[in-house]
Structure 1
Amino acid sequence: MKALVFHGPRDIRYESYDDPELRSPNSAILKVSSCSICGSDLHMYHGAHIGSTEYGADSPKFCCGHEFIGEVVEAGPEVHSFKVGDKVLAAGGTGCGNCPACKTGRTMECPVATAFGIGPGLEGGQAEYVCVPNADRTLYSTDGLTDDQAMLLTDAMATAYFGLTRAEPKPGGTVAVVGLGPIGLIGVELAYALGAAQVIAIDPVASRREMAEKLGATTLSPGVDLQKQVRELTGGRGADSVFEASGASGAIASVLPIVAHRGNASFIGIPEPEDTLPLPLILFKNVTVRGGVCDVQNMWPHLVPLVQQGRVKADGLFSHDFSLSEGAEAYRLFDSREDGVVKVRIAVD
């Protein structure tokens, strides 16, 4: 098959790769119809870290990508909810399907849980075919969803819901969203859907701030006076809920100064090892801080009704289209933030 393969920092190659095989009786093989690049993929692209894994020139090669949709073309004997021919989306990560955590719906607590396409342990879906273990729990039917909606439900929309709700937005409250990539922009829309009266959206890129303004947010560019500007917009209080959706060091550092006393801060951007939080601000402001990796599958029951009822649209996020053979350019453009890029869609078939 053809696939996008990681060979080192800024070295994504379109090349032949071994066809996947069923890795367990509960696995399925998908023929991928389209895929996308997530902001977290750029950590690999930059040669940075995801958790304890550092991505350098000596990293083993692997097939990239954890956002993909497609059609089941083979199913193992222990796959009961899907059959050959079903059109599905896949959660961005999964576990074994057999341990106590998997069996009780806590997939990302599985001892072997991981995301697709961040290493050779679970090959990714930026490819013509991909093996999906724990298929009954990892796949979701795309019936009643557009392809764009399905793609966003693989990760971005689920992560936005996960991160935002952990900041505990209250009806009538103020939410600040730091970082206006796809996840942050979806977070703006979700904040209003969940009852926020005021949303403050923060990002250095003007075109992304403009998108947030169209969703109703008041936007700010990060800088030395960010705390002062947020206080002015909130009557001196600060934001009740702050959702950090970037992972950039500056974005992480900006959160606690702008959160209100007894407010809530939620972090979902992947940090670098040197990123830290100031304990005195947490302590003396009585801030509740949460961080975590989204368990995508557990977000679907909350999100799919919101999407199908039109309460969350997430329109216009896919700004550029590529073919799989143009994958290296798709990564370059997405990383550059040129040409108003927000999110790229890659056609496989």
Structure 2
Amino acid sequence: MHALVFNGPRDIRYETYPDPELRGANSAIIKVRACSICGSDLHMYHGAHIGNTQYDEDTPHFCVGHEFIGEIVEAGADVHGFKVGDKVLAAGGTGCGMCSQCLTGHPHRCHESTAFGLGQKLEGGQAQFVNVPNADATLLSTDGLTDEQSLLLTDGMATAYFGLTRSDPRPGGTVAVVGLGPIGIMGVELAFALGAARVFAIDPVQSRRDMAAALGAEVFAPGPDLVPQIMQATGGAGAQSVFEASGAKGAINSVLPLVARGGSASFIGIPEPDDTLPLPLIIFKNVTVRGGICDVQNMWPHLVPLIQSGRIEASGLFSHRFDLSEGTEAYRLFDSREEGVIKLKIDVS
């Protein structure tokens, strides 16, 4: 098959790669129809850290990507919820499917849990085919969903809901979203859907601020005037809920000064090992701080009804479209954060 393969920092290549095989009776092989690049993929692309893994020239090559949709072409004997021919999307990561955590609906707590496309342990889906272990708990039917909605449900929309709700948004309350990539933009829309009266949206890129403004947000650029502007807008109180959706060091550092006393802050961006938070601000402002990796599958029961009822649209996020053979350029463009670049759809044939 053909796939996008990590060959080192800023070196993603379209190459011939071994076809996947079923790795267990609870696995399925997916023929990929479309895939996308996530902001967390850029940590790998930059040669930075994800968890304890440092990505550099010596990292063994692997197939990348954890956002993909397609059709089941082979299923193991222990796959009971799906069959060959089903159109599905896959959560961005999964567990073994056999431990107590997996069997009770918490595969993200499994000791074997990992994301697709971060190493050879679980090859990614920016490829013509991919093996999906723990298929019954990892896949979701795409019936009634568009390709774009399905791709967002693999990770980005789920992570936006996870991160936003962990900042304790209140009906009639104030929410600040720091970082307006696809997850941040969806966070803005979700904040209004969950009852926020005012949403402050913060990003250095004008086109992204324009998208947030079109959803009803009050938009700001980062910089030395940001905190005074938010304080003025809130009568000196600050935002009750702050959702950090970037992972950039500047974004992380901006969060706690924006939070109101007794408010909540949620972090979902992938940090570098030296990223820290100022404990005095947390203590003396009585701020609740949460961070974590989204358990994608557990967000689907909340999000699919919101999509199907029209409560959220998540429209206009796919700004560019590529073929799999153009994956090198797709990564370059996504990394550039050029005006107008939001999210990329990669078609696979």
The residue number in structure 1 matching 2:250 is: 250
The residue number in structure 2 matching 1:285 is: 285
SS for the counterpart of 2:82 is coil
The residue number in structure 1 matching 2:24 is: 24
After superposition, where does 1:247-326 map in structure 2 within 5 Å?
A: 247-326=247-326
Q: Tell whether 2:346 aligns with 1:343.
A: no
After superposition, where does 1:119-138 map in structure 2 within 5 Å?
A: 119-138=119-138
Which residue type is aligned with residue 191 of structure 1? A
SS for the counterpart of 2:160 is helix
The residue number in structure 2 matching 1:139 is: 139
Q: Distance in 1 between matches of 2:262 and 2:150?
A: 36
Which residue type is aligned with residue 177 of structure 1? V
Q: Distance in 2 between matches of 1:241 and 1:313?
A: 22
Q: Distance in 2 between matches of 1:255 and 1:130?
A: 38
The Cα offsets for residues 70-115 of structure 1, whole Å up to 9 and x where unpaired, read as 0000000000000000000000000000000001111110000000
Q: Distance in 2 between matches of 1:240 and 1:107?
A: 31
Q: Distance in 2 between matches of 1:261 and 1:51?
A: 31
**Cα offset, 1:143, TM superposition:** 0.5
The residue number in structure 1 matching 2:205 is: 205
Which residue type is aligned with residue 16 of structure 1? T
Moved more, 226-235 or 28-37: 226-235
Q: Distance in 1 between matches of 2:49 and 2:192?
A: 33
Q: Distance in 2 between matches of 1:263 and 1:105?
A: 30
Unaligned runs of 5+ in 1: none
Which residue type is aligned with residue 70 of structure 1? G
The residue number in structure 2 matching 1:81 is: 81
The residue number in structure 2 matching 1:4 is: 4
**2:199, 2:217 within 8 Å by CA — same for their partners in 1?**
yes
**Cα offset, 1:343, TM superposition:** 0.3
Q: Distance in 1 between matches of 2:182 and 2:276?
A: 24
After TM superposition, the score normalised by the length of structure 2 is: 1.00
Q: Distance in 2 between matches of 1:119 and 1:226?
A: 38
Q: Distance in 2 between matches of 1:213 and 1:246?
A: 18
The residue number in structure 2 matching 1:115 is: 115
After superposition, where does 1:36-115 map in structure 2 within 5 Å?
A: 36-115=36-115
The residue number in structure 1 matching 2:154 is: 154
Which residue type is aligned with residue 317 of structure 1? L
Q: Tell whether 2:170 aligns with 1:170.
A: yes
Runs ≥4 residues deviating over 3 A? none
Q: Distance in 2 between matches of 1:345 and 1:52?
A: 29
Q: Distance in 2 between matches of 1:38 and 1:225?
A: 30
Q: Distance in 2 between matches of 1:106 and 1:129?
A: 26
**Cα offset, 1:337, TM superposition:** 1.5
Task: Kindly report the root-mean-square deviation, in angstroms, between the aligned alpha carbons of the 2 structures.
Answer: 0.5
**Cα offset, 1:339, TM superposition:** 4.7
SS for the counterpart of 2:331 is helix
After superposition, where does 1:233-248 map in structure 2 within 5 Å?
A: 233-248=233-248
SS for the counterpart of 2:158 is helix
SS for the counterpart of 1:307 is helix
SS for the counterpart of 2:260 is strand
- How many residue pairs were aligned? 349
**Cα offset, 1:63, TM superposition:** 0.2
Q: Distance in 2 between matches of 1:346 and 1:324?
A: 6
SS for the counterpart of 1:111 is coil
Aligned-pair identity in percent equals 74
After TM superposition, the score normalised by the length of structure 1 is: 1.00
Q: Distance in 1 between matches of 2:312 and 2:183?
A: 13
Distance 1:339 1:264, change over 3 A: closer
SS for the counterpart of 1:33 is strand
The Cα offsets for residues 259-285 of structure 1, whole Å up to 9 and x where unpaired, read as 000000000000111100000000000
**Cα offset, 1:338, TM superposition:** 2.1
The residue number in structure 2 matching 1:220 is: 220
Q: Distance in 2 between matches of 1:87 and 1:52?
A: 34
**Cα offset, 1:137, TM superposition:** 0.2
The residue number in structure 1 matching 2:190 is: 190
The Cα offsets for residues 167-207 of structure 1, whole Å up to 9 and x where unpaired, read as 01000000000000000000000000000000000000011
Which residue type is aligned with residue 195 of structure 1? G
Unaligned runs of 5+ in 2: none
